[in-house]
Amino acid sequence: SSAFTHPMRHKYYEPGGKIPLGLKRKGLRIVVTGGAGFVGSHLVDRLISRGDSVIVVDNFFTGRKENVMHHFKNPRFEMIRHDVVEPLLLEVDQIYHLACPASPVHYKHNPVKTIKTNVVGTLNMLGLAKRVGARFLLTSTSEVYGDPLQHPQVETYWGNVNPIGVRSCYDEGKRTAETLAMDYHRGAGVEVRIARIFNTYGPRMCIDDGRVVSNFVAQALRKEPMTVYGDGKQTRSFQYVSDLVEGLMRLMEGEHVGPFNLGNPGEFTMLELAQVVQETIDPNAKIEFRPNTEDDPHKRKPDITKAKDLLGWEPKISLRKGLPLMVSDFQQRIFGDHKEGSS
């Protein structure tokens, strides 16, 4: 596939191949779209500490400069304010494509923009990968399984997705992004990698993004009741962000296209999650029931056999270990020097 050529192709480095004398560089040149966001900024930290040069491409819809500010003085770090829906010319070895709002509250805010980001944005980044011969990793989602009729979910399951619902801009958008990635792989020889990420939490999540872990943690810290939607018996499986970043990097560096489920198989009902938050933050934290949102998947749990076998990866941090690491970050951001909402 690396024999694919293009007149405008400008190759600095052949991953795993011969490096022309005089062009030998220490690290790779890597684009992280959505790199100012929650997951992206943790990935950037790891890539920079490994010695790579990183270009963050972000339109700051949900991302924040604060997440990557500690790299601003590093000459191996660059940041571009750019919307991936517009074409972009760069010369790089690898593209981690994360740009897309992930919280239901954010992606439903402007659904047409969300689907444009997933479809046109992914198309542009694949076009870029094709032109420069870069390897491309798509961060897809467990939502491609919809409200799953198979449990736990295996990569071979095709899913149960509503094409015309309020979540479709996200889940159908990601399904199309996967299709685009596979078609660029088969048709143009682009080296692609596909990760299907399950619910992930950790420091730097937007405090008010409406996701369940950030909501419960912020509510318990502010002495507000935790809002459980529906009967609270629906399940999710929560992965700590460092486990995810390790999985994404192994996938990028490995030989397998995927798709791979990347998630923690530890499954909790929302009521159980509220209990863990009580144990971690405040045993007296109260629970308040609210109506659930439309098309909410009833259960979700990854089968990670494939990632274990082919990537040698599995998560290491349980919910009870990971939650306190996030709580200290939220505590600082809610009650710390900066006024809440000032960032």
> Phi, psi (5° rounding) for residue 189?
70, 20
Does 315 participate in binding ligand NAD (rule CB under 6 A)?
no
Among residues 42 and 236, whose Cβ is nearest to ligand UDP? 236
DSSP 6-17: -TT---S--TTS
What is the rounded distance in angstroms from the CA atom of residue 138 to the CA atom of residue 192? 8
Partner in contact with 38, chosen from ligand NAD, ligand UDP, none, beta carbon below 5 to 8 Å by kind: ligand NAD
Per-residue burial over 228-265, b = 16 or more CB atoms within 10 Å of its CB, e = otherwise: beeebebbbbbbbbbbbbbbbbbbbebeeebbbbbbbb
Of 60, 158, 289, 335, which lies in the binding site for ligand NAD, with binding defined by CB under 6 A?
60
Does 61 participate in binding ligand NAD (rule CB under 6 A)?
yes
Tokens linked to 85: 């829906």
Partner in contact with 259, chosen from ligand UDP, ligand NAD, none, beta carbon below 5 to 8 Å by kind: none
What is the rounded distance in angstroms from the CA atom of residue 316 to the CA atom of residue 319? 10
Among residues 13 and 252, whose Cβ is nearest to ligand NAD? 252
Which stretches of the chain bind ligand UDP, using CB under 6 A? 87-89, 104, 123-124, 127-128, 130-131, 199, 211-212, 215, 227-229, 234, 236, 270, 292-293, 296
Q: Of 96, 107, 170, 201, which residue is the catalytic one?
A: 170
Instruction: List, in sequence order, every residue forming a beta bridge with 146; answer none if it has no partner.
Output: 160
Does 228 participate in binding ligand NAD (rule CB under 6 A)?
no
Amino acid at 33: T
Does 214 participate in binding ligand NAD (rule CB under 6 A)?
no
What is the rounded distance in angstroms from the CA atom of residue 257 to the CA atom of residue 182? 9
Does 121 participate in binding ligand NAD (rule CB under 6 A)?
yes
Does 297 participate in binding ligand NAD (rule CB under 6 A)?
no
Partner in contact with 229, chosen from ligand NAD, ligand UDP, none, beta carbon below 5 to 8 Å by kind: ligand UDP
Pairing of strands 29-33, 94-97: parallel
Q: Examine the residue annotation and report whether 201 is marked as an active-site residue of this protein.
A: no
Of 13, 28, 52, 83, which lies in the binding site for ligand NAD, with binding defined by CB under 6 A?
83
Partner in contact with 200, chosen from ligand UDP, ligand NAD, none, beta carbon below 5 to 8 Å by kind: ligand NAD
Interface with ligand NAD (CB under 6 A), residue total: 28
What counts of helices (H) and strands (E) characterise the chain?
A: 10, 13
Enumerate binding residues for ligand NAD (CB under 6 A): 33-34, 36-40, 58-63, 83-85, 98-102, 117, 121, 139, 141, 197, 199-200
Residues noted as catalytic = 170
